[in-house]
């Protein structure tokens, strides 16, 4: 139970997405444009193969509720920017041209519970953008939990005793 730890912690979005999440063809979802006024949550995808100078071929884009694709910067950015530390702040300055989009951008893989609790600063911890809700699923014998690990940020909390788990992946066909 809860005393033994090992809960699956899900970092779900509070608002529904305006379009499909997870992946589009070969492009993975890397973030969100947070809900704002009449605009709902918009998934942000990374296209690593745009036309551009060598090693500058990355582009973030989003899809609206009608299926229209929109780039978030005016030109591709350097691939190395993906490896820089700094979370949302770095992404907003290097990868997004429009100021309104930059304010709404939140990366999926920002630090979560353990790391957030170690940071001391005013305001919400990095990774907590006000658009997430946390749900913990307590491991119980005989329970099977299935979810889309690409579109749903998650972590497994520390255990206080030995636990065993099985994991597997389903791979969807990529339509081009």
Q: Each residue of 81-103: pLDDT tens digit? A: 666 655 666 667 778 888 889 88
In a domain, residue 148? The reply is yes
Question: What confidence score (pLDDT) does residue 161 get?
Answer: 81
In a domain, residue 170? The reply is no
In a domain, residue 169? The reply is no
In a domain, residue 11? The reply is yes
Residues of the chain short of pLDDT 50, as ranges, are 110-111, 115, 118-120, 124-127
Count of structural domains, the chain: 1
Question: What confidence score (pLDDT) does residue 5 get?
Answer: 80
22, 43, 46, 81, 150 from 171: Cα distances, Å:
12, 20, 19, 28, 11
Full residue range of the structural domain in which residue 84 is found: 2-156
In a domain, residue 68? The reply is yes
Question: What confidence score (pLDDT) does residue 86 get?
Answer: 58
State pTM to two decimals: 0.70
> CB of 28 within 8 A of CB of 109?
no
In a domain, residue 164? The reply is no
Q: What are phi and psi of 116, to 5 degrees?
A: -60, -40
Quick check: helix, strand or coil at residue 151? Answer: coil
In a domain, residue 116? The reply is yes
In a domain, residue 107? The reply is yes
């Amino acid at each position: 139970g809860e005393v033994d730890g090992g809960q699956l912690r899900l970092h779900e979005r509070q608002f529904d997405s305006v379009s499909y999440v997870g992946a589009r063809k070969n492009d993975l979802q890397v973030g969100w444009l947070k809900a704002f006024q009449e605009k709902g949550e918009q998934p942000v995808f990374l296209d690593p193969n745009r036309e551009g100078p060598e090693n500058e071929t990355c582009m973030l884009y989003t899809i609206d509720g009608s299926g229209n694709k929109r780039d978030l910067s005016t030109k591709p950015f350097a691939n190395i920017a993906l490896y820089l530390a700094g979370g949302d702040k770095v992404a907003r300055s290097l990868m997004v041209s429009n100021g309104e989009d930059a304010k709404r951008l939140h990366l999926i893989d920002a630090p979560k519970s353990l790391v957030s609790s170690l940071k001391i600063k005013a305001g919400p911890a990095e990774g907590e953008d006000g658009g997430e809700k946390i749900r913990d699923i307590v491991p119980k014998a005989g329970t099977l939990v299935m979810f889309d690990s690409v579109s749903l940020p998650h972590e497994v909390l520390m255990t206080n005793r030995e636990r065993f788990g099985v994991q597997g992946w389903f791979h969807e066909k990529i339509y081009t």
